[in-house]
């Protein structure tokens, strides 16, 4: 058993508490990892707000991390102690019908199908003050040591800087892949991105990499416009500057609507606006933002009947164990610069400050270091 620090969420709506926790050794098929760095993602904030009904408290959040294998359980063959790895919040078991489908990046072991608040044997490896602490998405990267099933881990290049590539565990591949894989943005096309957080800005980067000629960034926080333009946005607009709905503004700006639109906020009204802002016949709208549990969207069916495509994406449509190591290699080859998304680096003891920066729109990505 290892004793270490972890940021524990004891109850909904309460600040995280940095505690000493006990982390049990890995069982068969499991790996214990020393987390070196972890990003703060909006999804973690949703956990603290109680937006996910299948998350049990107390829990150690965090799902965008990078670390080093400390020990492995019986039967583990893909990694060994000392390997650099990225934990995967979307597993890839390699055996289910989704994993075996080359067009799917889903896995039946993902939390929508199977609860991930305990490890697959339905027990926890975390205890604190004599109490069992729940896992989050099996990864719980807000713990200095964490235990994860082997099929939710990707071994990466030993040269990768863990304090930078931790973003490749969630935020960057989700946005970048939404453009490259889900939308399949074509060269010369026009795109609109609703929401300029870390994921939305990664969509901007993906649209630029795909050769889009016009990339319109949409956000009510104008402080994010400079970063959006640095990453490839050609125009930035705020809905608050117009008296008409933003979808009408975008349609007028482009003549017939954008070719591709991306909703990266998770609000029902902006999802509808994003759909309506794309070309009525050939436009593609991709939902990237995570809505609150129980959200309902009401739309005019004509928006789809006329020919638009409306789709969602999970982690940017990447098969995680296969693709994350390749993305890390692309990062090392400087094919993209996800470092530009990191605005703050903080010690784990300042985790609550990191969340406050996120909530007030003052950060893009904060990275926590142990």
- The mean pLDDT value for 199-209 works out to 98
What is the pTM (predicted TM-score) of this model? 0.96
Q: What is the pLDDT of residue 300?
A: 92
Whether 182 has a pLDDT exceeding 90, the answer reads yes
Q: What is the pLDDT of residue 146?
A: 98
Query: Checking DSSP bridges between strand 365-369 and strand 342-347, what pairing results, if any?
Result: parallel
Residues composing the chain: 370
Same domain, 86 and 224: no
Give the number of other Cβ atoms within 10 Å of residue 82's Cβ.
9
pLDDT band at residue 81 using 50, 70 and 90 as cut-offs = very high
Q: Is 243 helix (H, G, I), strand (E, B) or coil?
A: coil
Contact status, residue 341 vs residue 204, Cβ threshold 8 Å: no
Of 370, 46, 315, the residue nearest 154 (C-alpha):
315
Q: What is the pLDDT of residue 9?
A: 98
Whether 40 has a pLDDT exceeding 80, the answer reads yes
Same domain, 304 and 330: no
Same domain, 150 and 26: yes
Q: What is the residue range of 110's domain?
A: 2-171+317-369
Same domain, 134 and 29: yes
pLDDT tens by residue, 106-140: 999 998 878 899 999 999 999 999 999 999 999 99
Same domain, 189 and 141: no
Q: What is the pLDDT of residue 155?
A: 98
Whether 224 has a pLDDT exceeding 90, the answer reads yes
Q: What is the pLDDT of residue 71?
A: 98
Cα(67)–Cα(256) distance, integer angstroms: 47
Q: What is the pLDDT of residue 104?
A: 96
Same domain, 214 and 190: yes
- The mean pLDDT value for 215-225 works out to 97
Mean pLDDT for the chain overall = 96
Q: What is the pLDDT of residue 115?
A: 84
Q: What is the pLDDT of residue 113?
A: 78
Structural domain includes residue 177: no
Q: What is the pLDDT of residue 52?
A: 80
Largest CA distance in the chain: 63
**Token digits of residue 96:** 């289910």
């Amino acid at each position: 058993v290892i004793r270490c620090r972890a940021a524990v969420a004891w109850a909904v709506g309460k600040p995280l508490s940095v505690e000493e926790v006990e982390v049990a050794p890995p069982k068969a098929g499991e790996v214990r990892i020393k987390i070196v760095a972890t990003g703060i993602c909006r999804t973690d904030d949703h956990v603290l707000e109680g937006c996910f009904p299948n998350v049990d408290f107390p829990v150690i959040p965090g799902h965008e991390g990078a670390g080093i294998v400390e020990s492995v359980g019986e039967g583990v063959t893909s990694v060994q102690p000392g390997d650099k790895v990225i934990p995967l919040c979307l597993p890839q078991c390699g055996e289910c019908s989704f994993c075996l489908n080359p067009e799917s990046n889903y896995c039946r072991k993902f939390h929508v199908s199977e609860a991930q608040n305990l490890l697959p044997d339905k027990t926890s490896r975390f205890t604190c003050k004599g109490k069992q602490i729940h896992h989050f998405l099996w990864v719980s990267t807000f713990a200095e040591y964490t235990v994860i099933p082997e099929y939710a881990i990707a071994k990466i290049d030993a040269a990768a800087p863990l304090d930078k590539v931790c973003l490749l565990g969630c935020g960057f591949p989700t946005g970048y892949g939404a453009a490259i894989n889900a939308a399949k943005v074509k060269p010369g096309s026009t795109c609109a991105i609703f929401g300029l957080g870390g994921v939305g800005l990664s969509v901007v980067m993906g649209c630029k990499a795909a050769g889009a000629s016009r990339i319109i960034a949409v956000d009510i926080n104008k402080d994010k416009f400079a970063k959006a333009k640095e990453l490839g946005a050609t125009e930035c607009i705020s809905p608050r500057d117009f008296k008409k709905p933003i979808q009408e503004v975008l349609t007028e700006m482009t003549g017939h609507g954008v070719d591709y639109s991306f909703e990266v906020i998770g609000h029902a009204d902006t999802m509808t606006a994003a759909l309506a802002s794309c070309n009525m016949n050939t436009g593609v709208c991709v939902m990237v933002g995570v809505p609150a549990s129980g959200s309902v969207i009401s739309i005019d069916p004509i928006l789809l009947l006329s020919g638009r495509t409306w789709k969602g994406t999970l982690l940017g449509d990447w098969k995680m164990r296969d693709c994350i190591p390749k993305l890390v290699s692309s990062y090392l080859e400087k094919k993209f610069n996800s470092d530009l998304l990191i605005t703050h680096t903080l010690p784990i003891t300042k985790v609550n400050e990191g969340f406050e920066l996120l909530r007030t729109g003052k950060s893009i990505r904060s990275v926590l270091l142990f």
